[in-house]
Structure 1
Amino acid sequence: MTESASLPVPLARWVESVLGPIQVVRDASHARTNSVVWEVSGSAGHHFVKVAPKAVFYTRETRAYREAVPRLGYGNAPALKDSSAELLALVVTAVDGEPLKSETSPLQRRATHEQAGRLLRLFHDALPNHAAQAEAANAAEAAVTGLEKHVADAGDHLSAAEADMLRRIVSTLPALGPLPAGLLHGDFWERNMLWNGQRCALIDYERSTPGPRVADFVKLATAVWPDHPQLSTALFTGYGRPLSTIEQQALVAFTAADAASALAYGPRHGDPHVTARGRRTVEHLKQEGLR
Protein backbone atom coordinates (compact mmCIF):
# COMPACT_ATOMS: atom_id res chain seq x y z
CA MET A 1 0.00 0.00 0.00
CA THR A 2 1.39 3.40 -1.00
CA GLU A 3 0.07 6.21 1.14
CA SER A 4 -0.50 9.94 0.90
CA ALA A 5 -2.14 9.73 4.35
CA SER A 6 -1.59 6.65 6.49
CA LEU A 7 -4.32 4.46 7.87
CA PRO A 8 -3.59 3.07 11.33
CA VAL A 9 -2.19 -0.44 10.93
CA PRO A 10 -5.15 -2.39 12.42
CA LEU A 11 -7.57 -0.36 10.31
CA ALA A 12 -5.45 -0.80 7.16
CA ARG A 13 -5.38 -4.56 7.64
CA TRP A 14 -9.14 -4.70 8.01
CA VAL A 15 -9.78 -2.40 5.02
CA GLU A 16 -7.52 -4.51 2.79
CA SER A 17 -9.31 -7.66 3.97
CA VAL A 18 -12.49 -6.04 2.63
CA LEU A 19 -11.23 -4.33 -0.53
CA GLY A 20 -7.95 -6.01 -1.38
CA PRO A 21 -4.71 -4.07 -1.90
CA ILE A 22 -4.94 -0.29 -1.66
CA GLN A 23 -2.68 1.96 -3.74
CA VAL A 24 -3.78 5.45 -2.66
CA VAL A 25 -5.04 6.86 0.61
CA ARG A 26 -6.23 10.46 1.03
CA ASP A 27 -7.35 12.16 4.22
CA ALA A 28 -10.93 13.29 3.61
CA SER A 29 -11.83 14.37 7.15
CA HIS A 30 -13.88 17.47 7.79
CA ALA A 31 -12.22 20.39 9.58
CA ARG A 32 -13.29 19.28 13.04
CA THR A 33 -11.53 17.18 15.64
CA ASN A 34 -13.95 14.24 15.68
CA SER A 35 -14.04 13.69 11.89
CA VAL A 36 -11.92 10.72 10.79
CA VAL A 37 -12.44 9.84 7.13
CA TRP A 38 -10.16 8.56 4.36
CA GLU A 39 -10.72 8.13 0.64
CA VAL A 40 -9.05 4.93 -0.54
CA SER A 41 -8.41 3.67 -4.07
CA GLY A 42 -7.34 0.32 -5.41
CA SER A 43 -8.41 -2.51 -7.67
CA ALA A 44 -11.87 -2.41 -6.06
CA GLY A 45 -12.30 1.25 -7.04
CA HIS A 46 -12.88 4.32 -4.87
CA HIS A 47 -14.26 3.93 -1.36
CA PHE A 48 -14.42 5.91 1.86
CA VAL A 49 -13.32 4.62 5.24
CA LYS A 50 -14.95 6.29 8.22
CA VAL A 51 -14.16 5.82 11.90
CA ALA A 52 -16.93 6.92 14.23
CA PRO A 53 -15.94 9.11 17.20
CA LYS A 54 -18.23 7.12 19.52
CA ALA A 55 -19.99 3.77 19.49
CA VAL A 56 -23.40 5.45 19.38
CA PHE A 57 -22.52 7.16 16.07
CA TYR A 58 -21.26 3.89 14.62
CA THR A 59 -24.49 2.15 15.64
CA ARG A 60 -26.66 4.90 14.17
CA GLU A 61 -24.81 5.01 10.87
CA THR A 62 -24.67 1.26 10.32
CA ARG A 63 -28.38 1.04 11.10
CA ALA A 64 -29.13 3.77 8.60
CA TYR A 65 -27.06 2.08 5.89
CA ARG A 66 -28.79 -1.24 6.45
CA GLU A 67 -32.39 -0.13 6.96
CA ALA A 68 -32.89 3.20 5.18
CA VAL A 69 -30.16 4.09 2.69
CA PRO A 70 -30.98 1.24 0.26
CA ARG A 71 -34.41 2.87 -0.21
CA LEU A 72 -32.76 5.92 -1.80
CA GLY A 73 -31.68 4.07 -4.93
CA TYR A 74 -28.42 3.38 -6.71
CA GLY A 75 -26.16 6.42 -7.00
CA ASN A 76 -28.28 8.52 -4.64
CA ALA A 77 -26.24 7.56 -1.57
CA PRO A 78 -23.13 5.56 -0.73
CA ALA A 79 -23.58 1.84 -0.17
CA LEU A 80 -22.19 0.05 2.86
CA LYS A 81 -19.44 -2.36 1.86
CA ASP A 82 -18.58 -3.61 5.36
CA SER A 83 -18.35 -2.48 8.98
CA SER A 84 -16.32 -3.33 12.07
CA ALA A 85 -17.83 -2.85 15.50
CA GLU A 86 -14.41 -3.46 17.05
CA LEU A 87 -12.84 -0.58 15.11
CA LEU A 88 -16.03 1.54 14.93
CA ALA A 89 -15.26 1.68 11.20
CA LEU A 90 -17.25 1.54 7.98
CA VAL A 91 -16.25 1.13 4.36
CA VAL A 92 -18.71 2.74 1.93
CA THR A 93 -18.71 3.25 -1.80
CA ALA A 94 -17.93 6.64 -3.30
CA VAL A 95 -20.67 8.56 -5.12
CA ASP A 96 -20.29 11.29 -7.74
CA GLY A 97 -20.61 14.92 -6.79
CA GLU A 98 -19.36 17.75 -4.63
CA PRO A 99 -20.99 19.26 -1.52
CA LEU A 100 -23.53 21.89 -2.49
CA LYS A 101 -22.23 25.43 -2.05
CA SER A 102 -23.81 28.86 -1.97
CA GLU A 103 -22.07 29.77 -5.24
CA THR A 104 -23.76 26.90 -7.08
CA SER A 105 -26.03 28.34 -9.78
CA PRO A 106 -29.58 29.11 -8.55
CA LEU A 107 -31.10 26.65 -11.03
CA GLN A 108 -28.87 23.78 -9.97
CA ARG A 109 -29.26 24.66 -6.30
CA ARG A 110 -33.04 24.44 -6.61
CA ALA A 111 -32.75 21.12 -8.44
CA THR A 112 -30.51 19.79 -5.68
CA HIS A 113 -32.92 20.80 -2.96
CA GLU A 114 -35.87 19.26 -4.78
CA GLN A 115 -34.02 15.96 -5.21
CA ALA A 116 -32.76 16.10 -1.62
CA GLY A 117 -36.34 16.54 -0.44
CA ARG A 118 -37.39 13.40 -2.31
CA LEU A 119 -34.49 11.43 -0.82
CA LEU A 120 -35.23 12.68 2.68
CA ARG A 121 -38.87 11.60 2.39
CA LEU A 122 -37.74 8.09 1.45
CA PHE A 123 -35.33 8.11 4.39
CA HIS A 124 -37.98 9.32 6.84
CA ASP A 125 -40.42 6.70 5.62
CA ALA A 126 -37.96 3.89 6.43
CA LEU A 127 -39.33 3.92 9.98
CA PRO A 128 -43.12 3.96 10.44
CA ASN A 129 -44.64 6.85 12.36
CA HIS A 130 -45.82 4.68 15.27
CA ALA A 131 -42.36 3.15 15.71
CA ALA A 132 -40.74 6.57 16.19
CA GLN A 133 -43.40 8.34 18.25
CA ALA A 134 -41.75 7.77 21.62
CA GLU A 135 -38.45 9.25 20.38
CA ALA A 136 -40.31 12.18 18.80
CA ALA A 137 -41.96 12.98 22.12
CA ASN A 138 -38.59 12.67 23.87
CA ALA A 139 -37.01 15.10 21.38
CA ALA A 140 -39.65 17.72 22.11
CA GLU A 141 -39.21 17.24 25.85
CA ALA A 142 -35.42 17.42 25.54
CA ALA A 143 -35.66 20.72 23.68
CA VAL A 144 -37.65 22.18 26.57
CA THR A 145 -35.62 20.71 29.44
CA GLY A 146 -32.26 21.44 27.82
CA LEU A 147 -32.99 25.08 27.05
CA GLU A 148 -32.00 26.51 30.43
CA LYS A 149 -28.53 24.99 30.25
CA HIS A 150 -27.98 26.43 26.78
CA VAL A 151 -29.25 29.84 27.87
CA ALA A 152 -26.90 29.81 30.85
CA ASP A 153 -23.96 28.68 28.71
CA ALA A 154 -24.72 31.39 26.12
CA GLY A 155 -24.14 34.05 28.78
CA ASP A 156 -23.81 37.54 27.36
CA HIS A 157 -24.58 36.32 23.85
CA LEU A 158 -28.27 36.40 24.83
CA SER A 159 -29.97 39.32 26.52
CA ALA A 160 -32.50 38.63 29.28
CA ALA A 161 -35.33 39.62 26.94
CA GLU A 162 -34.03 37.34 24.20
CA ALA A 163 -33.68 34.43 26.63
CA ASP A 164 -37.28 34.94 27.76
CA MET A 165 -38.42 35.00 24.13
CA LEU A 166 -36.72 31.66 23.45
CA ARG A 167 -38.25 30.17 26.60
CA ARG A 168 -41.74 31.22 25.54
CA ILE A 169 -41.34 29.82 22.04
CA VAL A 170 -39.78 26.51 23.04
CA SER A 171 -42.33 25.98 25.82
CA THR A 172 -45.08 25.64 23.19
CA LEU A 173 -43.70 22.29 21.98
CA PRO A 174 -45.45 19.93 24.44
CA ALA A 175 -48.87 21.44 23.73
CA LEU A 176 -48.57 20.74 20.00
CA GLY A 177 -49.20 17.03 20.58
CA PRO A 178 -47.72 14.14 18.61
CA LEU A 179 -45.66 15.23 15.62
CA PRO A 180 -45.21 13.13 12.46
CA ALA A 181 -42.21 10.92 13.16
CA GLY A 182 -39.75 8.79 11.22
CA LEU A 183 -36.07 8.04 10.87
CA LEU A 184 -34.21 11.37 10.86
CA HIS A 185 -31.07 12.03 8.86
CA GLY A 186 -29.89 14.17 11.75
CA ASP A 187 -27.46 16.40 9.82
CA PHE A 188 -29.54 17.44 6.84
CA TRP A 189 -28.00 20.47 5.19
CA GLU A 190 -26.13 21.45 2.07
CA ARG A 191 -22.76 20.06 3.12
CA ASN A 192 -24.26 16.57 2.99
CA MET A 193 -25.93 17.03 -0.39
CA LEU A 194 -23.54 16.04 -3.18
CA TRP A 195 -24.34 17.43 -6.63
CA ASN A 196 -22.76 16.16 -9.86
CA GLY A 197 -24.58 18.51 -12.21
CA GLN A 198 -27.56 16.20 -12.67
CA ARG A 199 -28.15 14.21 -9.53
CA CYS A 200 -28.12 14.74 -5.78
CA ALA A 201 -26.65 12.14 -3.45
CA LEU A 202 -27.23 12.24 0.30
CA ILE A 203 -24.34 11.34 2.63
CA ASP A 204 -23.31 11.20 6.32
CA TYR A 205 -25.73 9.27 8.53
CA GLU A 206 -23.95 9.11 11.88
CA ARG A 207 -26.56 11.33 13.54
CA SER A 208 -29.51 9.39 12.18
CA THR A 209 -32.08 8.61 14.87
CA PRO A 210 -35.85 8.21 15.24
CA GLY A 211 -37.62 11.48 15.96
CA PRO A 212 -39.98 14.22 14.74
CA ARG A 213 -39.54 14.70 11.00
CA VAL A 214 -39.65 18.47 11.26
CA ALA A 215 -36.42 18.46 13.28
CA ASP A 216 -34.51 17.57 10.11
CA PHE A 217 -35.35 20.96 8.60
CA VAL A 218 -33.92 23.13 11.39
CA LYS A 219 -30.46 23.73 9.88
CA LEU A 220 -31.82 24.76 6.50
CA ALA A 221 -34.53 26.87 8.13
CA THR A 222 -31.93 28.81 10.14
CA ALA A 223 -29.00 29.03 7.72
CA VAL A 224 -30.38 28.92 4.16
CA TRP A 225 -34.10 29.49 3.74
CA PRO A 226 -34.29 33.02 5.23
CA ASP A 227 -32.26 34.30 2.24
CA HIS A 228 -33.48 31.73 -0.29
CA PRO A 229 -37.15 30.89 0.32
CA GLN A 230 -37.34 29.35 -3.15
CA LEU A 231 -35.11 26.53 -1.90
CA SER A 232 -37.68 25.71 0.79
CA THR A 233 -40.33 25.54 -1.91
CA ALA A 234 -38.13 23.27 -4.02
CA LEU A 235 -37.33 20.95 -1.13
CA PHE A 236 -40.94 20.45 -0.09
CA THR A 237 -41.90 19.90 -3.71
CA GLY A 238 -39.51 16.97 -3.69
CA TYR A 239 -40.61 15.89 -0.22
CA GLY A 240 -44.13 15.51 -1.55
CA ARG A 241 -46.02 17.62 0.98
CA PRO A 242 -45.68 20.90 2.86
CA LEU A 243 -45.37 21.07 6.61
CA SER A 244 -48.66 21.01 8.47
CA THR A 245 -49.65 23.98 10.61
CA ILE A 246 -48.56 22.14 13.74
CA GLU A 247 -45.23 21.21 12.13
CA GLN A 248 -44.66 24.84 11.15
CA GLN A 249 -45.19 25.85 14.77
CA ALA A 250 -42.88 23.06 15.92
CA LEU A 251 -40.21 24.16 13.45
CA VAL A 252 -40.22 27.66 14.96
CA ALA A 253 -39.86 26.13 18.43
CA PHE A 254 -37.03 23.82 17.37
CA THR A 255 -35.21 26.71 15.66
CA ALA A 256 -35.49 28.71 18.89
CA ALA A 257 -33.95 25.81 20.81
CA ASP A 258 -31.25 25.54 18.18
CA ALA A 259 -30.44 29.25 18.52
CA ALA A 260 -29.75 28.86 22.23
CA SER A 261 -27.66 25.76 21.57
CA ALA A 262 -25.68 27.54 18.84
CA LEU A 263 -24.98 30.56 21.05
CA ALA A 264 -23.80 28.23 23.80
CA TYR A 265 -21.62 26.09 21.54
CA GLY A 266 -20.23 28.56 19.01
CA PRO A 267 -18.42 31.04 21.27
CA ARG A 268 -17.09 28.31 23.55
CA HIS A 269 -15.58 26.36 20.67
CA GLY A 270 -14.45 29.33 18.63
CA ASP A 271 -16.89 28.54 15.80
CA PRO A 272 -18.02 31.86 14.26
CA HIS A 273 -20.36 30.14 11.77
CA VAL A 274 -22.40 28.41 14.48
CA THR A 275 -22.42 31.59 16.56
CA ALA A 276 -23.63 33.63 13.59
CA ARG A 277 -26.39 31.10 12.88
CA GLY A 278 -27.66 31.35 16.44
CA ARG A 279 -27.55 35.14 16.48
CA ARG A 280 -29.28 35.37 13.13
CA THR A 281 -32.07 33.06 14.29
CA VAL A 282 -32.66 35.20 17.38
CA GLU A 283 -32.86 38.34 15.25
CA HIS A 284 -35.22 36.64 12.81
CA LEU A 285 -37.54 35.52 15.61
CA LYS A 286 -37.58 39.08 16.98
CA GLN A 287 -38.40 40.48 13.55
CA GLU A 288 -41.24 37.98 13.15
CA GLY A 289 -42.82 39.50 16.25
CA LEU A 290 -42.34 36.43 18.42
CA ARG A 291 -40.59 38.36 21.16
Structure 2
Amino acid sequence: MTESTRLPSSLATWVERVLGPLACVRDASHARDNSQVWRVTGRTGDHYVKVAPKPILYTRETHAYRLAVPHLGHGNAPVLRDSSPELLALILTAVDGEPLKEEKSPAGRRVAHRQAGRLLRRFHDAVTGPLVQPETARVVENTVAGLDKHLAEAGDHLSAAEADMLRHLVSTLPGCGRLPAGWRHGDFLRNLLWNGRRCALIDFERSEGGPLVTDFVKLATSLWPERPELRIALFEGYGRPLSETEERALTGFAAADAASALAYGPRHGDPFVTARGRRTVERLLQEGRL
Protein backbone atom coordinates (compact mmCIF):
# COMPACT_ATOMS: atom_id res chain seq x y z
CA MET A 1 0.00 0.00 0.00
CA THR A 2 1.33 3.44 -1.01
CA GLU A 3 0.38 5.81 1.77
CA SER A 4 1.14 9.10 3.48
CA THR A 5 -0.43 7.91 6.73
CA ARG A 6 -1.84 4.75 8.28
CA LEU A 7 -5.22 3.78 9.59
CA PRO A 8 -5.25 2.37 13.13
CA SER A 9 -4.93 -1.41 12.83
CA SER A 10 -8.44 -2.33 13.98
CA LEU A 11 -9.92 0.30 11.67
CA ALA A 12 -7.76 -0.82 8.73
CA THR A 13 -8.88 -4.44 9.15
CA TRP A 14 -12.54 -3.45 9.02
CA VAL A 15 -12.13 -1.01 6.13
CA GLU A 16 -10.24 -3.52 3.97
CA ARG A 17 -12.87 -6.15 4.72
CA VAL A 18 -15.45 -3.77 3.21
CA LEU A 19 -13.44 -2.13 0.41
CA GLY A 20 -10.67 -4.58 -0.29
CA PRO A 21 -6.93 -3.74 -0.25
CA LEU A 22 -6.15 -0.03 -0.08
CA ALA A 23 -3.64 1.57 -2.43
CA CYS A 24 -3.41 4.93 -0.66
CA VAL A 25 -4.46 6.49 2.65
CA ARG A 26 -4.38 10.25 3.25
CA ASP A 27 -5.25 12.18 6.39
CA ALA A 28 -8.28 14.40 5.69
CA SER A 29 -9.04 15.47 9.26
CA HIS A 30 -10.27 18.93 10.11
CA ALA A 31 -8.05 21.29 12.11
CA ARG A 32 -9.35 20.24 15.51
CA ASP A 33 -8.09 17.71 18.02
CA ASN A 34 -11.02 15.28 17.87
CA SER A 35 -11.31 15.06 14.06
CA GLN A 36 -10.38 11.68 12.55
CA VAL A 37 -11.03 11.45 8.81
CA TRP A 38 -9.04 9.69 6.09
CA ARG A 39 -9.40 9.59 2.31
CA VAL A 40 -8.67 6.08 1.08
CA THR A 41 -8.24 4.75 -2.43
CA GLY A 42 -8.66 1.16 -3.56
CA ARG A 43 -10.15 -0.96 -6.31
CA THR A 44 -13.59 0.54 -5.73
CA GLY A 45 -12.42 4.15 -5.99
CA ASP A 46 -12.12 6.91 -3.40
CA HIS A 47 -13.88 6.78 -0.05
CA TYR A 48 -13.74 8.61 3.24
CA VAL A 49 -13.33 6.83 6.57
CA LYS A 50 -14.63 8.85 9.48
CA VAL A 51 -14.44 8.10 13.20
CA ALA A 52 -16.95 10.02 15.30
CA PRO A 53 -15.58 11.77 18.40
CA LYS A 54 -18.58 10.67 20.51
CA PRO A 55 -21.23 7.95 20.32
CA ILE A 56 -24.04 10.53 20.02
CA LEU A 57 -22.39 12.01 16.91
CA TYR A 58 -22.02 8.55 15.37
CA THR A 59 -25.67 7.81 16.09
CA ARG A 60 -26.87 11.08 14.59
CA GLU A 61 -24.82 10.64 11.44
CA THR A 62 -25.79 7.05 10.80
CA HIS A 63 -29.47 7.89 11.39
CA ALA A 64 -29.21 10.77 8.93
CA TYR A 65 -27.67 8.53 6.27
CA ARG A 66 -30.47 6.01 6.67
CA LEU A 67 -33.43 8.36 7.09
CA ALA A 68 -32.75 11.63 5.30
CA VAL A 69 -29.67 11.59 3.06
CA PRO A 70 -31.19 9.24 0.42
CA HIS A 71 -33.80 11.96 -0.26
CA LEU A 72 -31.06 14.32 -1.49
CA GLY A 73 -30.64 12.41 -4.73
CA HIS A 74 -27.76 10.69 -6.52
CA GLY A 75 -24.47 12.60 -6.42
CA ASN A 76 -25.77 15.25 -4.01
CA ALA A 77 -24.32 13.63 -0.87
CA PRO A 78 -22.00 10.78 0.07
CA VAL A 79 -23.37 7.24 0.23
CA LEU A 80 -22.89 5.27 3.44
CA ARG A 81 -21.08 2.06 2.44
CA ASP A 82 -20.83 0.63 5.96
CA SER A 83 -20.68 1.63 9.61
CA SER A 84 -19.27 0.13 12.80
CA PRO A 85 -20.82 1.00 16.17
CA GLU A 86 -17.88 -0.65 17.93
CA LEU A 87 -15.38 1.62 16.16
CA LEU A 88 -17.79 4.61 15.87
CA ALA A 89 -16.70 4.60 12.22
CA LEU A 90 -18.32 5.16 8.85
CA ILE A 91 -17.17 4.43 5.30
CA LEU A 92 -18.53 7.01 2.84
CA THR A 93 -18.22 7.49 -0.89
CA ALA A 94 -16.39 10.62 -2.01
CA VAL A 95 -18.34 13.42 -3.68
CA ASP A 96 -16.91 15.97 -6.09
CA GLY A 97 -16.49 19.60 -5.07
CA GLU A 98 -14.78 22.22 -2.94
CA PRO A 99 -16.27 24.28 -0.08
CA LEU A 100 -18.94 26.56 -1.51
CA LYS A 101 -17.36 29.60 0.14
CA GLU A 102 -14.50 29.30 -2.37
CA GLU A 103 -16.80 30.19 -5.30
CA LYS A 104 -15.80 33.72 -6.40
CA SER A 105 -18.30 34.41 -9.18
CA PRO A 106 -21.45 36.26 -7.97
CA ALA A 107 -23.52 34.44 -10.59
CA GLY A 108 -22.01 31.10 -9.57
CA ARG A 109 -22.79 31.79 -5.91
CA ARG A 110 -26.43 32.53 -6.70
CA VAL A 111 -26.80 29.33 -8.73
CA ALA A 112 -25.11 27.31 -5.98
CA HIS A 113 -27.27 28.78 -3.22
CA ARG A 114 -30.41 28.11 -5.23
CA GLN A 115 -29.34 24.46 -5.50
CA ALA A 116 -28.42 24.44 -1.81
CA GLY A 117 -31.94 25.61 -0.97
CA ARG A 118 -33.42 22.70 -2.93
CA LEU A 119 -31.16 20.23 -1.11
CA LEU A 120 -32.05 21.65 2.28
CA ARG A 121 -35.78 21.43 1.52
CA ARG A 122 -35.43 17.76 0.54
CA PHE A 123 -33.48 17.09 3.72
CA HIS A 124 -36.01 18.92 5.90
CA ASP A 125 -38.95 17.10 4.31
CA ALA A 126 -37.38 13.64 4.63
CA VAL A 127 -38.67 13.02 8.17
CA THR A 128 -41.70 14.88 9.54
CA GLY A 129 -44.64 14.38 11.85
CA PRO A 130 -44.61 12.56 15.21
CA LEU A 131 -40.96 11.52 14.89
CA VAL A 132 -39.69 15.10 15.04
CA GLN A 133 -42.40 17.47 16.32
CA PRO A 134 -41.76 16.72 20.04
CA GLU A 135 -38.09 17.58 19.52
CA THR A 136 -39.01 21.18 18.69
CA ALA A 137 -40.18 21.91 22.22
CA ARG A 138 -37.04 20.27 23.62
CA VAL A 139 -34.77 22.42 21.43
CA VAL A 140 -36.57 25.59 22.51
CA GLU A 141 -36.39 24.60 26.18
CA ASN A 142 -32.67 23.75 25.96
CA THR A 143 -31.91 27.01 24.14
CA VAL A 144 -33.61 29.08 26.83
CA ALA A 145 -32.10 27.02 29.67
CA GLY A 146 -28.55 27.25 28.30
CA LEU A 147 -28.48 30.99 27.75
CA ASP A 148 -27.33 32.11 31.19
CA LYS A 149 -24.36 29.75 31.06
CA HIS A 150 -23.25 31.25 27.75
CA LEU A 151 -23.77 34.79 29.01
CA ALA A 152 -21.65 34.05 32.07
CA GLU A 153 -18.89 32.52 29.91
CA ALA A 154 -18.98 35.51 27.55
CA GLY A 155 -18.16 37.77 30.50
CA ASP A 156 -16.77 41.16 29.51
CA HIS A 157 -17.45 40.51 25.83
CA LEU A 158 -21.05 41.55 26.53
CA SER A 159 -22.24 44.64 28.37
CA ALA A 160 -25.05 44.33 30.92
CA ALA A 161 -27.44 46.01 28.48
CA GLU A 162 -26.46 43.63 25.67
CA ALA A 163 -26.90 40.60 27.92
CA ASP A 164 -30.36 41.83 28.96
CA MET A 165 -31.33 42.30 25.32
CA LEU A 166 -30.25 38.75 24.46
CA ARG A 167 -32.18 37.39 27.46
CA HIS A 168 -35.31 39.21 26.31
CA LEU A 169 -35.07 37.96 22.72
CA VAL A 170 -34.39 34.35 23.72
CA SER A 171 -37.24 34.47 26.25
CA THR A 172 -39.68 35.05 23.39
CA LEU A 173 -38.97 31.64 21.85
CA PRO A 174 -41.50 29.61 23.89
CA GLY A 175 -44.24 32.04 22.85
CA CYS A 176 -43.51 31.89 19.13
CA GLY A 177 -46.07 29.18 18.55
CA ARG A 178 -45.86 25.93 16.63
CA LEU A 179 -42.73 25.87 14.47
CA PRO A 180 -42.38 23.66 11.37
CA ALA A 181 -40.31 20.62 12.34
CA GLY A 182 -38.29 18.11 10.38
CA TRP A 183 -34.82 16.64 10.03
CA ARG A 184 -32.25 19.42 10.49
CA HIS A 185 -28.69 19.32 9.21
CA GLY A 186 -27.26 21.23 12.17
CA ASP A 187 -24.21 22.73 10.40
CA PHE A 188 -25.50 23.47 6.93
CA LEU A 189 -23.48 26.49 5.81
CA ARG A 190 -20.04 24.98 6.42
CA ASN A 191 -20.79 21.66 4.75
CA LEU A 192 -21.83 22.62 1.24
CA LEU A 193 -19.57 21.51 -1.62
CA TRP A 194 -19.65 23.02 -5.11
CA ASN A 195 -17.95 21.76 -8.28
CA GLY A 196 -19.06 24.61 -10.54
CA ARG A 197 -22.19 22.76 -11.64
CA ARG A 198 -23.60 20.84 -8.72
CA CYS A 199 -24.03 21.46 -5.01
CA ALA A 200 -23.54 18.61 -2.52
CA LEU A 201 -24.14 18.33 1.22
CA ILE A 202 -21.84 16.45 3.60
CA ASP A 203 -21.17 15.85 7.33
CA PHE A 204 -24.37 14.91 9.14
CA GLU A 205 -23.08 14.31 12.66
CA ARG A 206 -25.17 17.18 14.05
CA SER A 207 -28.34 16.14 12.26
CA GLU A 208 -31.48 15.50 14.29
CA GLY A 209 -35.15 16.36 14.44
CA GLY A 210 -36.34 19.77 15.53
CA PRO A 211 -37.37 23.25 14.37
CA LEU A 212 -36.31 23.75 10.76
CA VAL A 213 -35.62 27.45 11.24
CA THR A 214 -32.47 26.67 13.22
CA ASP A 215 -30.71 25.61 10.01
CA PHE A 216 -30.93 29.22 8.82
CA VAL A 217 -29.36 30.88 11.87
CA LYS A 218 -25.71 30.81 10.73
CA LEU A 219 -26.77 32.01 7.27
CA ALA A 220 -28.71 34.89 8.80
CA THR A 221 -25.93 35.94 11.15
CA SER A 222 -22.81 35.48 9.01
CA LEU A 223 -23.72 35.59 5.33
CA TRP A 224 -27.02 37.24 4.49
CA PRO A 225 -26.34 40.68 6.04
CA GLU A 226 -23.64 41.34 3.40
CA ARG A 227 -25.08 39.06 0.70
CA PRO A 228 -28.88 39.53 0.69
CA GLU A 229 -29.06 38.23 -2.87
CA LEU A 230 -27.93 34.83 -1.58
CA ARG A 231 -30.87 34.75 0.84
CA ILE A 232 -33.18 35.35 -2.12
CA ALA A 233 -31.47 32.61 -4.15
CA LEU A 234 -31.58 30.07 -1.32
CA PHE A 235 -35.29 30.54 -0.67
CA GLU A 236 -36.02 30.36 -4.39
CA GLY A 237 -34.54 26.88 -4.24
CA TYR A 238 -36.14 26.08 -0.89
CA GLY A 239 -39.54 26.74 -2.39
CA ARG A 240 -41.07 28.85 0.37
CA PRO A 241 -40.12 31.82 2.56
CA LEU A 242 -39.97 31.62 6.33
CA SER A 243 -43.32 32.12 8.01
CA GLU A 244 -43.88 35.06 10.37
CA THR A 245 -43.57 32.62 13.27
CA GLU A 246 -40.24 31.34 11.94
CA GLU A 247 -38.95 34.89 11.39
CA ARG A 248 -39.64 35.70 15.06
CA ALA A 249 -38.01 32.46 16.15
CA LEU A 250 -35.01 33.14 13.90
CA THR A 251 -34.30 36.31 15.90
CA GLY A 252 -34.54 34.43 19.20
CA PHE A 253 -32.27 31.61 18.05
CA ALA A 254 -29.81 34.15 16.60
CA ALA A 255 -29.65 35.91 19.97
CA ALA A 256 -28.82 32.58 21.62
CA ASP A 257 -26.22 31.90 18.94
CA ALA A 258 -24.59 35.28 19.57
CA ALA A 259 -24.21 34.48 23.27
CA SER A 260 -22.79 31.06 22.42
CA ALA A 261 -20.36 32.59 19.90
CA LEU A 262 -19.09 35.14 22.42
CA ALA A 263 -18.61 32.39 24.97
CA TYR A 264 -16.83 30.01 22.57
CA GLY A 265 -14.84 32.33 20.31
CA PRO A 266 -12.65 34.16 22.85
CA ARG A 267 -12.10 31.01 24.92
CA HIS A 268 -10.86 29.05 21.90
CA GLY A 269 -9.03 31.89 20.18
CA ASP A 270 -11.44 31.84 17.23
CA PRO A 271 -11.71 35.39 15.85
CA PHE A 272 -14.29 34.44 13.20
CA VAL A 273 -16.79 33.04 15.68
CA THR A 274 -16.17 35.99 18.01
CA ALA A 275 -16.74 38.47 15.19
CA ARG A 276 -19.97 36.72 14.18
CA GLY A 277 -21.27 37.04 17.73
CA ARG A 278 -20.36 40.73 17.93
CA ARG A 279 -21.96 41.54 14.57
CA THR A 280 -25.16 39.79 15.58
CA VAL A 281 -25.35 41.65 18.90
CA GLU A 282 -24.78 45.00 17.21
CA ARG A 283 -27.38 44.31 14.56
CA LEU A 284 -29.94 43.20 17.12
CA LEU A 285 -29.27 46.34 19.16
CA GLN A 286 -29.84 48.53 16.12
CA GLU A 287 -32.79 46.73 14.53
CA GLY A 288 -34.28 44.52 17.22
CA ARG A 289 -34.48 41.60 14.77
CA LEU A 290 -32.60 39.98 11.89
TM over 0.5: yes
Equivalent position of 1:281 in the other structure: 280
**Equivalent position SS for 2:30:** coil
Q: Is the partner of 2:61 in helix, strand or coil?
A: helix
Partner of 1:194: 193
- Note the 1:1-150 alignment, pairs <5 A: 1-101=1-101, 104-150=104-150
Q: Aligned equivalents of 1:289 and 1:207: distance in 2?
A: 29
| 1:141-192 per-position Cα deviation (integer Å, ceiling 9, x unaligned) | 1111111110001000000000000011111000111200001001110x31
The amino acid of 1:60's aligned partner reads R
| Equivalent position amino acid for 1:267 in 2 | P
Alignment of 1:203-282 (within 5 A): 203-282=202-281
User: Within 1, Cα distance between the matches of 2:256 and 2:86?
Assistant: 35
TM-score, L = length of structure 1 = 0.97
The offset of 1:2, in angstroms, is 2.4
The Cα of 1:129 is off from its aligned counterpart by 3.4
Does the residue aligned with 2:35 lie in a helix, a strand or coil? coil
Q: Deviations over 1:34-86 (max 9, x none)?
A: 21111111111000000000000000000101111111111000000000000
Contact 1:130 1:181 in 2 (8 A): no
3-state SS of paired residue (2:132): helix
Q: Which of 101-110 and 31-40 deviates more?
A: 101-110
What is the rounded CA distance, in whole Å, between the counterparts of 1:29 and 1:180 in structure 2? 34
1:128 positional shift: 1.1
Structure 2 distance, partners of 1:55, 1:215, is 23
Cα–Cα, structure 1 residues 19 and 218, in superposed 2: closer, same or farther, change >3 Å? same
Taking the aligned partners of 1:125 and 1:72, their CA distance within structure 2 comes to 10
CA distance in 2, matches of 1:118, 1:154: 36
Answer whether contact 1:112 1:193 (CA < 8 A) is retained. no
Q: Per the alignment, in what secondary structure is the counterpart of residue 277 of structure 1?
A: helix
RMSD: 1.0
The alpha carbon displacement at 1:216 in A equals 0.6
- Deviation of 1:131 (Å): 2.4
**Whole-angstrom CA distance in 2 between matches of 1:102 and 1:86:** 36
Please list every run of at least 4 consecutive aligned residues from structure 1 whose deviation after the TM superposition is greater than 4 angstroms.
Answer: none
TM-superposed CA distance for 1:224, in Å, is: 0.5
Q: Is the 8 A contact 1:184 1:210 kept in 2?
A: yes
Q: Which residue does the alignment assign to 1:175? A: 175
Q: CA deviation at 1:269?
A: 1.2
Equivalent residue pairs, number:
289
Alpha-carbon shift at residue 103 of structure 1 (Å): 5.0
Per the TM alignment, residue 5 of structure 1 is displaced from its structure 2 partner at its CA by 1.6
User: Is the 8 Å Cα contact of residues 133 and 178 (structure 1) preserved in structure 2?
Assistant: no
Residue identity opposite 1:281 in structure 2 = T
Q: What is the TM-score normalised by the length of structure 2?
A: 0.97
Amino acid at match of 2:214: A
Q: Secondary structure at the match of 2:59?
A: helix
What is the one-letter code of the residue matched to 1:35?
S
Percent sequence identity is: 70
Distance (Å, rounded) in 2 between the aligned partners of 1:81 and 1:103 = 29
Q: Give 5+ residue unaligned stretches, structure 2.
A: none
Q: Which ranges of structure 1 fall in alignment gaps of 5 or more residues?
A: none
Q: Tell me, in whole angstroms, the C-alpha distance in 2 between the residues paired with 1:247 and 1:124.
A: 14
Q: Distance in 1 between matches of 2:150 and 2:88?
A: 30
